[in-house]
Amino acid sequence: MPALRRNPTRSVRIGSVTIGSQHAIAVQSMTATHTQDVDATVAQAEALREAGADVVRVAVDSKKDAEALAEIRKQTRANLAVDLQENYRLAELVAPHVDKIRYNPGHLYHHEQEKPWQEKVAYLAGIARENDCAIRIGVNCGSVDPAKKNKYGPNDTIGPMLESAVDHCQYLDDLGYTRYCVSLKDSDPRHVVEVNRQFAARRPDVPLHLGVTEAGMPPDGIIKTRIAFEQLVSQGIGDTVRVSLTVTNDRKPEEIAAGRQILADIASGRVRSVVDYGLKSLNIISCPSCSRVENEAFIHLAQQVKEMTRYAEDHAITIAVMGCRVNGPGETDDADLGLWCGPNFVNLKRGPESLGQYPYDAILDKVRQELDRLIATGTGKA
């Protein structure tokens, strides 16, 4: 698999880490301790850093939290980010202690309602500049700017998020402040994919922070997030990621491990959903396997398919090899040829159409025939 392509996003430094297309995709997480419990928060920030977190976010909701943050800063080497909630004025208290400030355009309305949002953003950019901080414009489906929501109507979830992000980027650009990234989060991975794709098409230069909110507990929470990341990262979209999992405090570093694993899997074609890497050549993908695999022969088969199909390298055809009957049948629909493995047989598909079941020792020949047919008719759709 060639190196993943990336959108030409600009570089944005967050403490000792820089995100953007010239840099590896960063992985981040967030503390879940009470921020005023300095010992616990420092311990968790350090545990995340040691697990490989590039950035650790801390929630700050009050002046007391901001005071605790000053102490936390002294005791951890993690690059720190904060979420500003409704009280955006806390920025001046927290910025001296962190490397990035996240604000939510949908929260800027709550305080000082007579002031236009532009004035508030100008204030935040000024604070960020003075304190050597990056900014994240964090748009969230659950708290979209009410003015945008009214404009688009109750059934459009994408439009208000997109316009909100694009407007805020433009305004920061107009202020001459370009050290920012954007996130567009939703609890539905399909919405995450759609809104991030549309944003990246409009602003391919702006680094994106990817995440699925309220993803839930592992393994389901990881799977949901993985599907969204697969569809985006494979298309060059995403410069930093967070996997949000419902886990106890001692297990928080699992978010980092999950993020790194997903990125490594995408880079090597181990994916659960059919992805288009934008290749003009053969695209063989296989699921990363999990406890649902019903026949270990699947692992070997995935390897054999890769080797056997090498002769077709120059053809833009996608072949998906999936390990089970739970997800295999659905997840192979978008591939030109799909194989999903049952306990004794392998099921073969051409797009959504079933071509029958074959024993493990007969499937390779059949795949070869079908592949030759696709090449001869030029019907590969990858």
In the complex, the residues that contact ligand SF4 under the rule CB under 6 A are: 272, 287-290, 292-293, 322-324, 326-328
CB of 226 to ligand SF4, least distance (A): 9
Closest CA to 271 of 201, 211, 213, 319: 319
Angle subtended at Cα 52 by Cα 50 and Cα 55, rounded to the nearest 5 degrees: 100
Name the strand (E) or helix (H) holding 241: strand 240-242
Residue with tokens 């990341």: 229
Least CB distance to ligand SF4 at residue 341 (A): 8
Q: Which is nearer to ligand SF4, 187 or 289 (CB)?
A: 289
Tokens at 150, concatenated: 């009214």
Q: Which residues 6+ apart lie within 8 Å of 203 measured at CB?
A: 166, 169, 182
Cβ closest to ligand SF4, residue 56 vs residue 215: 215
Structure tokens at 91: 């920025």
Select 338 or 380, whichever has its Cβ closest to ligand SF4: 338
To ligand SF4, the closest distance from the beta carbon of 96 in angstroms equals 45
Using DSSP's 3-state secondary structure scheme, residue 72 falls into: helix
DSSP 344: S
Output b/e per residue, 106-124; b: 16+ Cβ within 10 A: bbbbeeeeeeebeebbbeb
Instruction: Report the distance separating Cα 90 and Cα 97, nearest Å.
Output: 12
Give, for 352, the enclosing helix (H) or strand (E): none
Give min distance, CB of 351 to ligand SF4, in A.
Answer: 18
Hey, which residues does 354 pair with through a beta bridge?
Answer: 349
| Residue 225 Cβ vs ligand SF4, minimum distance, rounded to whole Å | 14
Greatest Cα-to-Cα distance within the chain, rounded to the nearest angstrom: 72
CA dihedral 348, 352, 353, 358 (to 10 degrees): 10
Nearest residue (CB) to ligand SF4, 255 versus 331: 331
Nearer to ligand SF4, 248 or 291 (CB): 291
Question: In the bound complex, what is the minimum distance in angstroms from residue 325's beta carbon to ligand SF4?
Answer: 8
3-state secondary structure of 2: coil
User: Could you tell me the smallest distance in angstroms from the CB atom of residue 290 to ligand SF4?
Assistant: 3
Residues in the chain: 382
Minimum Å gap between C-beta 354 and ligand SF4 is 17
- Look at the block and give the residue holding tokens 């025939």: 369
**Nearer Cβ to ligand SF4, position 178 or 327?**
327
Residue nearer to ligand SF4 on the CB measure, 166 or 222: 222
Nearer to ligand SF4, 103 or 298 (CB): 298
Residue 323: CB atoms within 10 A of its CB come to: 27
Angle, alpha carbons 288-293-294 (nearest 5°): 160
Cβ 261 to ligand SF4, closest distance in Å? 12
Question: From the CB of 156, what's the least distance to ligand SF4, in Å?
Answer: 32
Nearer to ligand SF4, 100 or 270 (CB): 270
Name the residue with tokens 């080497």: 77
Residue 10 or 292: the one with the smaller Cβ distance to ligand SF4 is: 292
- Residue 70's alpha-carbon distances to 38, 66, 93, in angstroms, are 10, 7, 9
